[in-house]
């Protein structure tokens, strides 16, 4: 018996959401990987039932981590600041290419005294979102340490990274351009995808989380296909600095679907 309500219509993803800036993106392909699309069409995506990916959100105190999550999950914005104590999490359900999929969003404390508590929840993440304040240069500089701490509990080769600038509504166009230049450089060094959002206005929030959901789903399915030995004979893995090693070079004669 299905005890869960149907996925909301605005959480159904049939196409791959696009990146914000191509200069700092995990990949710039316009569509889901063809092997993922084929596997979903055949419902050959590994484990039966709902797929869940763990996403941890880290960053300095008061950069807007909780507001970011609440804007997407609850479509609310609370102007009264309340620091997160330890950790909190939200579960957001999607349907990606016809397959049920959920993001478990872990909101971690930015206060130094809660770091030890929060870090115990870092392990097992499929994606890490590092948040900074677009109006605070120091918070951008601190993202490198936040990432280093999170990667101590995770395999750097199997986790997706997102660098998110918050409070865009507080920046003038000139201020934003200056900060964006530095943020893009940091994102490229981290090999993270860059986004700029406003939890107050909602700008880019929905698009960002749709992108996170789509890319974590894609990476999860590709990993399961690799484990099951579903790769076609003749496929070659491409490894380039400007391309994801999850993407495969298809044979010249492209089949209608994968076996």
Query: Residue ranges of the domains in the chain?
Result: 17-249
Helical (H) or strand (E) element with 237: strand 236-237
Token pair 């600095």 is found at 241
- What is the C-alpha to C-alpha distance for residues 242 and 157, in angstroms, rounded to an integer? 16
Helical (H) or strand (E) element with 129: strand 127-133
pLDDT digits (tens, 9 = 90+) for 215-253: 999 999 998 888 877 444 333 333 233 444 444 433 344
Helical (H) or strand (E) element with 90: strand 87-96
Q: What is the DSSP letter of 86?
A: S
Q: In the prediction, which pLDDT does 198 show?
A: 98
- What is the C-alpha to C-alpha distance for residues 40 and 221, in angstroms, rounded to an integer? 9
Superfamily name and number for 17-249: P-loop containing nucleotide triphosphate hydrolases (3.40.50.300)
Instruction: Tell how far CA 71 is from the center of its chain.
Output: 16
Q: In the prediction, which pLDDT does 4 show?
A: 62
Query: Contact 163/186 with Cβ under 8 angstroms?
Result: yes
Q: In the prediction, which pLDDT does 227 show?
A: 81
- What is the C-alpha to C-alpha distance for residues 10 and 72, in angstroms, rounded to an integer? 11
- What is the C-alpha to C-alpha distance for residues 180 and 167, in angstroms, rounded to an integer? 13
Residue 115 or residue 59, greater confidence: 59
**Which residues, in sequence order, are bridge partners of residue 59?**
131
pLDDT digits (tens, 9 = 90+) for 175-222: 999 999 999 999 999 999 999 999 999 999 999 999 999 999 999 999
pLDDT digits (tens, 9 = 90+) for 131-176: 999 999 999 999 999 999 999 989 999 999 999 999 999 999 999 9
Q: In the prediction, which pLDDT does 119 show?
A: 66
SS3 for 235?
coil
Closest CA to 203 of 67, 110, 14, 102: 67
User: If you average pLDDT over residues 76-80, what whole number do you get?
Assistant: 81
Question: What is the band of 7 on the pLDDT scale with cuts at 50, 70, 90?
Answer: confident
- What is the C-alpha to C-alpha distance for residues 107 and 122, in angstroms, rounded to an integer? 10
Token pair, residue 173, equals 């166009």
Q: Are strands 236-237 and 248-249 parallel, antiparallel or unpaired?
A: antiparallel
- What is the C-alpha to C-alpha distance for residues 17 and 30, in angstroms, rounded to an integer? 8
Angle, helix 65-74 to helix 205-227, in steps of 10 degrees: 90
**Side-by-side strand order, sheet with 127-133:** 12-13, 87-96, 99-108, 51-59, 127-133, 160-166, 193-196
Residue 19 or residue 84, greater confidence: 19
């Amino acid at each position: 018996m299905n005890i869960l309500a149907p996925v909301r219509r605005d959480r159904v993803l049939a196409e791959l959401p696009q990146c914000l800036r191509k200069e700092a993106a995990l990949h710039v392909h316009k569509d889901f990987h063809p092997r993922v699309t084929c596997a979903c069409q055949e419902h050959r995506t590994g484990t039966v039932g709902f797929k869940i990916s763990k996403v941890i959100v880290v960053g300095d105190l008061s950069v807007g981590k909780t507001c970011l999550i609440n804007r997407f999950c609850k479509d609310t914005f609370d102007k009264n600041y309340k620091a997160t104590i330890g950790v909190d999490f939200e579960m957001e359900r999607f349907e990606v290419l016809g397959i049920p999929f959920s993001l478990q969003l872990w909101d971690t404390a930015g206060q130094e005294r809660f770091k030890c508590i929060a870090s115990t929840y870092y392990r097992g993440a499929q994606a890490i979102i590092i948040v900074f304040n677009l109006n605070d240069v120091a918070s951008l500089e601190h993202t490198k340490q936040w990432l280093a701490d999170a990667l101590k509990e995770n395999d750097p080769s199997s986790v997706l990274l997102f660098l998110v600038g918050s409070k865009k509504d507080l920046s003038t166009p000139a201020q934003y351009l200056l900060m964006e230049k530095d943020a893009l450089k940091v994102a490229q060094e981290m090999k993270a995808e860059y986004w700029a959002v406003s939890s107050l206005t909602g700008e880019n929030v929905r698009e960002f989380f749709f992108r996170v959901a789509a890319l974590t789903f894609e990476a999860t399915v590709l990993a399961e296909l690799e484990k099951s030995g579903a790769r076609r004979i003749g496929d070659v893995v491409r490894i380039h600095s400007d391309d994801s090693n999850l993407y495969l070079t298809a044979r010249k004669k492209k089949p209608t679907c994968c076996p």
